[in-house]
Amino acid sequence: MALCLCFCGGVVVARHWCPTPVLAMLGAALLVAGGIWQGSQTRLVSAMAFAVALGLGLLRGSALSASQSFPQPKSGVVVMEAVRASRPGPRCRVWARHVGGEAEEALDLAASMCPISEGQIIYLPASDYRARGRLPADDGQGGRWIEAAWIARSPSSAYWRAVAELRERGWEESRGDPARGLVVAATLGLRTALPPESRLSLRRAGLGHLLAVSGLHVGLVSLIFRFFALRLCLLLGHRPGLSVVLACIPIAAYVALTGAAAPAVRASLLIASVGVSDILGRPTHGPSNLVVVASAMVAWNPDWIADPGFQLSVVAMWAIVAAPPGLGSLAMSWRITWFIAPLCCLHFGGAPMHAVVANAVALPIFCGWTLPAGFLAWVTPRPLGLLPEWAAHQGAALLLDGAELLARMPALGPGMLGATALGVRWVVRIITRRVEGVSLAALLPPLAPVLCLLVMSLVPERWNSGTSRSGLEWAAMGTKRTMSVLSRSTGLASVGKFCLREPQGAGSQWSRHLRALGVTSVIQLRGSAGHSSEAPHLRQLRESLSRAGLYHEALNADCIAPDRAKIRRLLDRCLRRGPGDRAAVRGMSTEPFVECKLSSGWQALDLLPSTR
Query: Which of these three, 17, 36, 67, is where a domain ends?
Result: 67
Pair 15, 37 in one domain:
yes
C-alpha 215/C-alpha 219 separation (Å) is 5
Contact yes or no for 216/270 (Cβ under 8 A): no
Report yes or no on 600 lying in a domain: yes
Q: What is the mean pLDDT of the chain?
A: 75
User: How far, in whole angstroms, is CA 81 from its chain's centroid?
Assistant: 25
Query: DSSP labels for 550-610?
Result: -B---TT--B----HHHHHHHHHHHHHHSSSS-EEEEEETT-SSEEEEETTEEEE-PPPGG
pLDDT at 43: 61
Which SS3 state, helix, strand or coil, does residue 121 take? strand
Question: 214 CB contacts (<8 Å, ≥6 apart)?
Answer: 261, 263, 264, 266, 267, 309, 313
Q: Omega of the bond prior to 324 within 30 degrees of 0, cis? A: no
Beta bridge partners of 478: 483, 583
Report yes or no on 517 lying in a domain: yes
Report yes or no on 119 lying in a domain: yes
Report yes or no on 367 lying in a domain: no
What helix, strand, coil percent values describe the chain, rounded to 5? 55, 10, 30
User: Do strands 121-125 and 144-145 pair parallel, antiparallel, or not at all (unpaired)?
Assistant: unpaired
C-alpha 601/C-alpha 591 separation (Å) is 15
Kindly provide the residue ranges of all beta strands, DSSP E only, lying in 102-141, ordered along the sequence.
104-109, 121-125
pLDDT at 44: 60
pLDDT < 70 regions, the chain = 1-75, 127-143, 240-241, 349, 437-438, 459-471, 480, 490-496, 506-508, 528-534, 554-558, 578-580, 589-593, 598-601, 604-612
Report yes or no on 55 lying in a domain: yes
- Of 528, 534, 525, the C-alpha closest to 564 is 528
Query: DSSP labels for 474-535?
Result: EEEEE-SS-EEEEEEB-STT-TTEEEEES--S-HHHHHHHHHHTT--EEEEEE--TTS-TT-
Pair 477, 594 in one domain:
yes
C-alpha 541/C-alpha 576 separation (Å) is 29
Pair 476, 587 in one domain:
yes
Pair 116, 154 in one domain:
yes
- Of 200, 164, 191, the C-alpha closest to 82 is 164
Question: 144 CB contacts (<8 Å, ≥6 apart)?
Answer: 105, 106, 107, 108, 128, 129, 132, 133, 134
C-alpha 153/C-alpha 100 separation (Å) is 16
Q: Other C-beta atoms within 10 Å of 365: how many?
A: 16
| Helix or strand run (H / E) with residue 412 | none
Report yes or no on 108 lying in a domain: yes
DSSP, res 145? E
Pair 40, 112 in one domain:
no
Residue range 177-206, pLDDT digits in tens = 889 999 998 888 888 788 877 887 888 888
Query: DSSP labels for 190-257?
Result: -GGGS-HHHHHHHHHTT-GGGTS-SHHHHHHHHHHHHHHHHHHHHHHT--TTHHHHHHHHHHHHHHHH
Pair 127, 58 in one domain:
no
Query: Which of these three, 101, 127, 161, is where a domain ends?
Result: 161
Residue count of the chain, please give it.
Answer: 612
pLDDT at 140: 41
Which SS3 state, helix, strand or coil, does residue 40 take? coil
Report yes or no on 318 lying in a domain: no
R_g (Cα) of the chain, nearest Å: 26
User: Do strands 104-109 and 144-145 pair parallel, antiparallel, or not at all (unpaired)?
Assistant: parallel
Give me the phi and psi of 37, to 5 degrees please: -65, -35
Name the residue range of residue 23's domain. 2-67
Pair 479, 607 in one domain:
yes
Pair 488, 598 in one domain:
yes
Q: How many helices (H) and strands (E) does the chain have?
A: 21, 13
Pair 62, 91 in one domain:
no
Query: Which of these three, 275, 306, 337, is where a domain ends?
Result: 306
C-alpha 269/C-alpha 254 separation (Å) is 13
Pair 144, 218 in one domain:
no
Report yes or no on 60 lying in a domain: yes
Burial of 588 (0-12, 13-18, 19+ CB in 10 A): buried
CATH at 116: 2.40.50
C-alpha 583/C-alpha 572 separation (Å) is 8
Pair 487, 594 in one domain:
yes
Cα dihedral sign, 101-104-108-110: positive
Total structural domains within the chain: 4
Pair 511, 555 in one domain:
yes
